[in-house]
Amino acid sequence: MFRIVFFAPCIPPNTGNAIRIAANTGCELHLVEPLGFTMTDAQVRRAGLDYHEMAHVTVHPDLDAAWETLRPTRVFAFTAHASRFHTDVSYQPGDVLLFGPEPTGLPDEVLDDPHVTDRLRIPMLPDRRSMNLANATSVALYEAWRQHDFRGAV
């Protein structure tokens, strides 16, 4: 399946929602520190409901540690500043979908990381800054999964 990476997430409920997304799709969720909360934060727990035990979540001390664990072949960095849409890619199992913190998004040093295969955007109306992190993750992940006929789903 696909792997979701949140670089330095700040808002606990978005990460809680991502835990639910990961549990419901069979994807791994990787969080890169620093986190703007603790994993025991009530808001993370509340948003994730009872899905915490069903999700594969790993916290990494930094991006290099995440790359060492993931050993990715392809990494797609999501940014409002990309020119290609998330639907322009033929996703492969094992692909990493990389998202940045709210409200700033991925910093240039992460976007320019040699592991990043491509930068992608999710279409929005003009003059809009960004989507909610959990919503953007869902949009991108479900497109990738759709391309594989929702393998494993009921």
The pLDDT value given to residue 102: 87
Q: Which CATH number fits domain 3-146: 3.40.50.150, 3.40.1280.10, 3.40.605.10, 3.30.70.330?
A: 3.40.1280.10
Q: Could you tell me which of 104, 89, 84, 97 has the C-alpha nearest to residue 10?
A: 104
- 11 contacts 67 by C-beta, under 8 angstroms: no
- H helices of 26-132, in order, are 42-48, 63-70, 108-111
Q: Could you tell me which of 70, 78, 72 has the C-alpha nearest to residue 111?
A: 78
Q: What is the mean pLDDT of each run of 10 residues along the chain (154 residues)?
A: 96 90 95 89 63 86 98 97 97 98 94 98 91 95 97 90
The pLDDT value given to residue 55: 87
The pLDDT value given to residue 46: 65
The pLDDT value given to residue 77: 98
Element (H, E) at 14: helix 12-25
Q: Report domain extents, the chain.
A: 3-146
Does the pTM surpass 0.75? The reply is: yes
Distance of CA 146 to the CA centre of its chain: 16
Written as one letter, the residue type at 85 is F
Element (H, E) at 84: strand 84-85
